């Protein structure tokens, strides 16, 4: 028994070890199973998180791809940009003037970390700035403007300096898409968007009317025609060494102005105070003695009052006439006997004077008053000139008859020519398109108008005419020249040519004016196949030549825009 008990004891000792190991092993399996489950849960969680992130990115990318692209600027860029002024466009809808967002560059010295380094950067990138002044302002440590009205290039250069202290202040500015082209018509606005000249000033309230802010102000001007006329006139200033010039193209039926050019001009995008009088609007504000242009008025009055006919012969025309203290004569020698139409074709001072005496002062006064030649021109501009007033004393009728001693603006005289040629209805010049029906009053009859147009056509076509260089094939040009001289400075003169075309049924009136032109000694004229050189300094040798060049350039555009004119042009080309 003892032996057996001992064995059992021994066996029990061994069994204690066996049972312990079994417990450990089972416990390990349970722990491993728990850890394995926990690890799998973590993997699932991470997988879910990654999947969620991927879905978020996918949704965001899809949203961005479907939404409108917004260009973010370097500073706060408000989505709503409310215009302060309406656009201005030409008759074809071409943009002339518009408000855009621009910037002032300001400096907050407190945000400049290294002021010396900042000044060096400015000196390198903007050498035109006064670094000394900027340094003083930086030391004052107060907010100041570095540069106002900066352009996009300057803005980018300043941004690239990488300084937090540079602040871009947004504001609205007015830009003019054609720079110099409409400088004497459109005008300008000040820094607060108030019109200060031209169309901008005349229509200031209408251009700021919020009810029509998205409706452009439509002008009668044609940008393409304006460009062509300006280009030819600028060439003429060089060719004839003239100090200035002007051109005006008007619709003879309704007074709409298609082009108004005055030279020299200036870039209206540059805000500069111009004091020099040579930059005035010569067409509307310039007041001139236009010379022989007035002879057409004298003949028109005589025809209208049945005093003469175009074929009436004026006999024994003297070479000169003594009138009070003055002696009036012709520049050239003419035949003693001339018909009324020949007097205008050849531009005889004495012949015109004799016809004026038959008309009488009363009838001539009535014509001047009815045409408003001595009043301020009515047009949508404030820059208008006042003709010099005079008294009808001795010899005034005689001198006025051929355009001496009477002044007016090129705008007014062109309007009268258009009125005389369109059948006699007095028109009102306009720069703005309107749908209103105009009421016209007559200045002469249609019969007189037709007779006058035929004579003016002969001024261009006849060998003795003064405007032969304007006889451009296919355009049926008619017109009258005028050469006047400055009383004080005899070497200064004004050469003018007013044309109407087509003469049979005039649609357009064109004035071309050159101030102080010289003889173009190197210019060879091509007149009906003949090569000739200039030897006189008169309108027939310069203003007429320039008008012919202009009509040749703008004629096709006008023909396309005018069906009647187009048919006549095609018919003449065919014949």
Q: Which residue has the tokens 């009647």?
A: 564
| Residue 307: both structure tokens together | 């005093």
- Please state whether the predicted TM-score (pTM) of the whole model is above 0.85: no
Cis peptide before 502 (omega within 30 of 0): yes
CA nearest neighbour of 452 among 506, 493, 492, 412? 506
| Residue 395: both structure tokens together | 């010899």
Q: Which residue has the tokens 């005899």?
A: 490
Structural contact between residues 501 and 249, judged by C-beta atoms closer than 8 angstroms? no
What is the tens place of the pLDDT at every residue in 264-305? Answer: 999 998 877 777 888 999 999 999 999 999 999 999 999 999
* Mean of per-residue pLDDT scores for the chain: 87
Q: For residue 17, what pLDDT is reported?
A: 46
pLDDT of residue 574 exceeding 60: no
Q: Indicate the DSSP class of residue 539.
A: G
Q: For residue 3, what pLDDT is reported?
A: 44
Average pLDDT over residues 211-232: 97
b/e for 341-357, b at 16 or more Cβ within 10 A?
bbbbbbbbbbbbbbbbe
Q: Which class for 172: exposed (0-12), middle (13-18), buried (19 or more C-beta within 10 A)?
A: middle
Distance of CA 432 to the CA centre of its chain: 13
Strand, coil or helix: 239: helix
| CA-based torsion, 564, 565, 570, 572: positive or negative | positive
In percent, how much of the chain has pLDDT > 70? 86
- pLDDT bucket at 28, cuts 50 / 70 / 90: low
Q: For residue 33, what pLDDT is reported?
A: 64
Structural contact between residues 559 and 566, judged by C-beta atoms closer than 8 angstroms? yes
Q: Where are the alpha helices (DSSP H) in 67-171?
A: 115-125, 131-140, 152-159
Q: Which is more confident, 348 or 4?
A: 348
What is the tens place of the pLDDT at every residue in 417-469? Answer: 999 999 999 999 999 988 777 778 999 999 999 999 999 999 999 999 999 99
What is the tens place of the pLDDT at every residue in 41-65? Answer: 778 778 788 888 888 888 888 877 7
Give the domains, in start order, of the chain with CATH numbers.
Answer: 88-218 (3.90.1310.10), 226-574 (3.40.710.10)
Average pLDDT over residues 471-497: 85
pLDDT of residue 324 exceeding 50: yes
């Amino acid at each position: 028994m003892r032996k057996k008990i001992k064995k059992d004891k021994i066996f029990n000792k061994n069994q204690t070890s066996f049972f312990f190991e079994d417990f450990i092993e089972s416990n390990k399996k349970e722990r491993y199973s728990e850890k394995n489950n926990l690890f799998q849960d973590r993997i699932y969680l991470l997988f879910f998180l990654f999947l969620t992130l991927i879905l978020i990115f996918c949704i965001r990318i899809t949203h961005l791809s479907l939404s409108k692209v917004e260009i973010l600027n370097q500073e706060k860029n408000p989505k709503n940009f409310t215009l302060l002024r309406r656009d201005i466009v030409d008759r074809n809808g071409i943009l002339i003037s518009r408000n855009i967002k621009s910037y002032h560059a300001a400096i907050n010295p407190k945000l400049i970390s290294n002021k010396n380094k900042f000044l060096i950067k400015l000196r390198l990138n903007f050498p035109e700035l006064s670094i000394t002044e900027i340094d003083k302002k930086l030391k004052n440590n107060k907010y100041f403007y570095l540069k106002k009205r900066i352009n996009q290039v300057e803005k980018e250069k300043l941004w690239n300096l990488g300084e937090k202290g540079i602040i871009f202040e947004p504001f609205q500015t007015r830009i003019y898409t054609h720079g110099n082209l409409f400088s004497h018509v459109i005008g300008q606005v000040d820094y607060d968007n108030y019109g200060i000249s031209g169309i901008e000033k005349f229509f200031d309230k209408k251009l700021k009317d919020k009810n029509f802010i998205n409706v452009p102000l439509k002008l009668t001007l044609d940008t393409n025609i304006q460009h062509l006329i300006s280009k030819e006139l600028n060439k003429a200033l060089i060719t004839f060494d003239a100090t200035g010039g002007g051109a005006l193209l008007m619709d003879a039926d309704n007074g709409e102005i298609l082009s108004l050019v005055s030279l020299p001009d200036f870039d209206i995008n540059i805000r500069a105070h111009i004091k020099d009088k040579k930059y005035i609007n010569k067409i509307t504000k310039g007041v001139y003695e236009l010379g022989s242009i007035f002879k057409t008025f004298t003949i028109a009055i005589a025809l209208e009052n049945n005093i003469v006919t175009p074929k009436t012969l004026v006999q024994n025309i003297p070479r000169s006439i003594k009138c009070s203290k003055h002696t009036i004569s012709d520049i050239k020698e003419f035949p003693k006997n001339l018909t009324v139409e020949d007097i205008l074709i050849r531009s005889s001072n004495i012949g015109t004077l004799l016809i004026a005496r038959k008309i009488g002062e009363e009838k001539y006064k009535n014509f001047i008053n009815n045409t408003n030649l001595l009043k301020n021109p009515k047009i949508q501009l404030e820059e208008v000139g006042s003709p010099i007033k005079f008294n009808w004393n001795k010899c005034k009728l005689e001198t006025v008859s051929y355009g001496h001693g009477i002044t007016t603006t090129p705008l007014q005289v062109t309007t009268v020519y258009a009125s005389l040629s369109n059948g006699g209805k007095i028109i009102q010049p306009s720069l703005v398109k309107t749908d209103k029906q105009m009421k016209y009053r007559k200045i002469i009859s249609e019969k007189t108008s037709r007779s006058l147009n035929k004579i003016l056509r002969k001024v261009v076509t006849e060998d003795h005419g003064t405007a032969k260089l304007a006889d451009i094939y296919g355009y049926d040009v008619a017109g009258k020249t005028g050469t006047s001289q400055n009383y004080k400075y005899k070497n200064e003169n004004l050469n003018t040519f007013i044309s109407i075309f087509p003469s049979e049924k005039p649609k357009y009136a064109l004035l071309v004016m050159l101030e102080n032109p010289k003889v173009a000694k190197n210019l060879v004229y091509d007149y009906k196949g003949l090569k000739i050189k200039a030897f006189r300094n008169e309108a027939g040798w310069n203003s007429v030549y320039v008008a012919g060049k202009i009509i040749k350039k703008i004629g096709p555009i006008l023909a396309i825009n005018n069906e009647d004119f187009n048919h006549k042009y095609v018919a003449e080309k065919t014949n």
